[in-house]
Structures are given as C-alpha cells and as structure tokens.
Amino acid sequence: MPQTLSNEQLTAIANEYGSPVYVYHAEKIAEQYNKLKSAFSAHPTRFYYACKALTNVNILKYMKSLGACIDCVSISEVKLAQLAGYEPNEILYTPNCVDFNELLEVTTMGVRVNIDNLSILEQFGHKFGGSYPVCIRINPHIEAGGNYKISTGHIDSKFGISVHQQRHIARIVKTTGLHVQGVHIHTGSEIKDIGVFLRGLDVIFEIATHFPGLDYIDLGSGFKVPYKDDDQETDVVTMGKQVTQAVQDFEKEYNRSIELWFEPGKYLVSECGYFVVKTNVIKQTTATVFAGVNSGFNHLIRPMFYDAYHRITNISNPGGPNRIYTVVGNICETDTFAWDRVLNEVREGDFLVFHNAGAYGFEMSSNFNSRLKPAEVLVKDGKAQLIRRADVFEDLLRNQIL
C-alpha cells in the first residue's frame, strides 16, 4: 500500500504547530528509495540524494539511515551533509559557477568533486594533477522534461561541458595528468521517457572510451513523480532492466566493472510532503470565487515560478459539495496557486492541503513581505516530530544591524 497521511493526522499537526506548516512522511521517503534500490538491484548502484530539494538535517539523517549517499551543490550543503553524519566518500559535490576557492575548501574535506566547466577543470588539474580524482559533468545536448526551466541538458544550458568539447577535455587531462574517476550527465526533471536515459548512456559510453580507468558513471536523475491523478511517472522497473543491461553490455567492451550512480531528489521527497494552510477569506468577484489562504509564494513558489501543478484538497470539509475556486495567497503580489480548481466547499477557517510539497517547497521559501517561514514536521512510525520551529518576529531582525 502506498504510504499516505490521513486528514485527521494533518489536521492534528496544524492545530498543534500552527499553519502554514510543512509535513513530511518518513515512510513515503523509504518507499520511494526502496523502489529505486529494487529496480537497480541487478547491478552495483549508488543513489546520491540531491539534497537541494529539501535540506533539513533531519531529512538528511533519515536518508543516510536508508543507505543513501548525498549530492550537494554548495559548500554549505556539504557542511550540512557532514553534520548529518555522511562520510567524505558518501558526498558528491556538484557545483555550478562557483568561485574556485569553494572547490579548494571542499577538497580539504575529502569529498568527491564533480566539475562542469573547462576553465575550472584546467585550474583544478594544474593545482592537483592526478592526486585528487574528479568526475566530469557533460552536457549531452539532449532535451528532457516537460519544462524548459528545469531542463539542464539542452544546448543553451549553463550546466556541464559540451559533449562537442571532448578534445578540450582530453587536452586538459593529458596536460595536467588529471585523474578522471567518473563521468556525469543530468538532462533535467520530469522525464517520463526512459529513452532519454538510454540516449544519455550512449553519450557517456562514448566519452568513457577516452578514460579507461573509470570507476563509475552518473546518470543524474529526472525521474518523474505524478502531480495529477492521471499523471504518468517514470517506470523505474523497466528502466532498471534496460539501463542495467546496457551497462553490463558496455562493461564487456570496456573490460572493467563500473558502478552506476543516480542523484534523485524530487523523486525521493516530493510525494512525502504536505503543505497545510488555513483559509482566511472567501471572496466572490464578478469573475471568480477566491479562497484566500494564510500563505503565498513566499512559502510555495513552484506554481508561480514553474507553473507547477499541486493537487489541493479541503481536509476540513472532505464531504462537502464541489465548488470552483481560485486559490490565492496573502502576499502583496499576484500569488495564484490555482485557477478554477474544483474543491469540496471551502469555508473560512478550513484547512487546505497542497500535495507533493516535499521537494522545492520549504527549500525555496523566503521572508518576502516580512512574512514568517512556517514550521516543518516529520511523521515517522505514526508520531509527529517538530524538525524546524516556525519563525518568530525576532528572526526577521537576526542579521540586521540596529
């Protein structure tokens, strides 16, 4: 049975910790992780949780307890990973457009480094030669995902070294003696077509022939999770079989065993998350009926930023008649969560829940309009645990000089 939290559990949490509140379900994270682990069980595979999706240190600790490694995109994420108990060889640092000094600091921690820029690759090679192994991130020029904003493998992307710059890479490696330990690609998010991963594998296999001593290849992530009831998710079981077979076939030609790595973020935590808000006002206009809630894009920016869809339910009146509402926030900007959404009748004071709110929800929140950030709660073994208190007014002043 899929792991879900009940209306009663979510209501009790909102009453105890206030609203808005982010709620995460530990067992759903475990369910998603185990699906991946099972799908790729026929070949040595590591899963590096892309922690930019949700960095609460309690979530990081729970991921480690499941057996996951961790993918970090900033020095602070690396430090959070250390705080959560990850060993250096369990941390992959995949930055973009960072100062070279940040890479130097990361090397003092002994973590794995993934480089996606020719200039940085050359600087790194001259600094370390072959003494500090690296992974190289390639831009495969493969379109992927349903939204250009979350596609990272297209030709105009700032991510990765172009697949057409292999000769530049080879020149740097030969000149500096750089030890290339792995090759990485990541084409984007919301990938339904597993053929995208197989095309990415072809790119990696061709690159790998120039580096005879690779220990691993990294396919990034992009596994799609369903946001709507009729959404198609990535078929990880079929993908596991096809990708595993392709890697095993390549290993025979390569004459070397290589690990397969992935960096799931949204896939692991999106569906575990619930964002509970309270309805402040019902406002009827000549065009629509607004359900105005006690949150806004300061807490959940994905609908405004990515035009993302989140299923919304009224957990205070689940048996009420269906009505049509435009759900908006309390920010002094246009912060429309949903237009013309069919919901069970919404009354002032009702709790509404945004589903699939675990990834890039709290993580992208802000104090815009001097609004306070909400609490975060983790439900594990049926028990709710506060893992971040809600902001208080003093938090707004914490770094200001008075």
Catalytic residues: 332
Helix 75-83 / helix 57-66 crossing angle, nearest 10 deg: 60
Residue in the structure block whose two tokens are 């690990």: 259
Q: How far is CA 236 from the centre of its chain?
A: 17
Distance between CA 349 and CA 343 in Å, rounded? 15
Q: What is the DSSP annotation of 182-199?
A: EEE---BS-B--THHHHH
Beta bridge partner(s), residue 375: 21
Q: Record the tokens describing residue 127, joined without a space.
A: 């600094």
b/e burial code for range 230-265 (CB count within 10 A of at least 16 → b):
eeeebbbeebbebbbebbeebeeebeeebebbbbbb
Distance CA 34, CA 47 (A): 11
Q: How many CB atoms lie within 10 A of CB 209?
A: 11
Tell me the CA distances in angstroms from 199 to 137, 193, 194, 388, one per residue in order: 16, 11, 9, 41
Q: Do 336 and 288 contact (CB within 8 A), yes or no? A: no
Q: What is the SS3 assignment for 145?
A: coil
Contact criterion met (CB below 8 Å) for 198 and 140: no
Indicate the burial class of 331 (C-beta count within 10 angstroms; 0-12, 13-18, 19 or more). middle
391: tokens are 């902001």
Q: Is 268:31 a contact under the CB 8 Å cutoff?
A: no
Task: Measure the CA–CA gap between 47 and 221, rounded to whole angstroms.
Answer: 10
C-alpha–C-alpha distance, residues 214 and 203, integer Å = 15
* Residue reference for tokens 């049509």: 324
Among residues 273, 239, 224, the alpha carbon closest in space to that of 247 is found at 239
